[in-house]
Each structure stands twice: as structure tokens, then as C-alpha cells.
Amino acid sequence: MTTPTYNDTNFRLQFPQFADVTMFSVQQLSSWWTMGTSYVNAQNGYPWSCNPNQLQLALDLMAAHLAQSYTLISQGVPTVLVQGTTEGSVTVSMTPPPVTSAFGHWLSTTSYGQQLRSLLKAVANVGLYVGGYPERSAFRKVYGAF
């Protein structure tokens, strides 16, 4: 299986938010795509069980997530939902996303990260099954009993 590579034309067609070449240069998007391979394994080995198109989409979504995250940070835009604010004595309360991991929280800060998280849940394996009775991994036990 070939390793996916960054394709600028397809990336910009897929994510029109990054179509402006002056704001998002080819080198900048390519570097974010390469950075994304640190988070998503581009070699498509374990724990992936996806086809090459799904892996390409995962890497493109990670690059788009990184690009949008860096853009929001540089503009000073918060990447969390503000639940409530107060002016006197300055109180700000944030709404955390409904995720249980720091990686999931980070991905939920952009729409591209949310799409990536859904894709990863659908195509990434959860791990190896070691030990126990093989019939316990099915709906019925041996001889059809529940």
C-alpha cells in the first residue's frame, strides 16, 4: 500500500476555507499536513483498518484542523464555548465538550476535528483481543446458548 501524500489541489477543493493562496500558502498547508502525520499514522499499519481513501481523508482533516486551530489562535479567538460571563469582578465560565480524553477535547475545538474524531471512531481498531473464551466475543455462547 502506498503512503498518502499532500495534494494541494484536492485539499483546497475539499476545504474551500483554505482556498486563498495568499493567506494559506502551499508550503504552510503542506507543513500542517506533515505535522498531522504525527497524530494520524500515515503508514496505515496497526491500529488502522481503513482503506487508502479513508486514510487520506483522515490526514486531510487533521491538516485542516491544525490550520483552523492555528488561524483561530493567531486571531485571538477562543476555541471553547463560553457559557456565561460577568463584567464586574470578571467571571467567565466555559462549557467543556462531552468527551473523556484530552485528544478528543482538542479535536472538538474545530468542525474538522469533530469530523476526524468521527472518522477515527469508525475506522480505527480499538486494540487486540487477548485471552478468554472466543465465544464470549459473539452474541451466543458455544452450542447456541446465550
2 within domain boundaries: no
Going residue by residue through the chain, which has 146 residues, state the pLDDT in tens, using 9 for 90 and above: 567 889 999 999 999 999 999 999 999 999 999 999 888 877 755 555 667 888 889 999 999 999 999 888 888 876 666 666 677 777 777 666 666 777 887 888 888 999 999 888 887 755 545 555 555 555 555 666 55
* Threshold 0.75, pTM exceeds: no
Label residue 97 exposed, middle or buried (CB < 10 Å: 0-12, 13-18, 19+): middle
Q: Residue 78 sits in which domain range?
A: 8-144
Strands (E) in the chain, as ranges, are: 81-86, 91-95
Residue 3 counted as domain residue: no
The structural domain count of the chain equals: 1
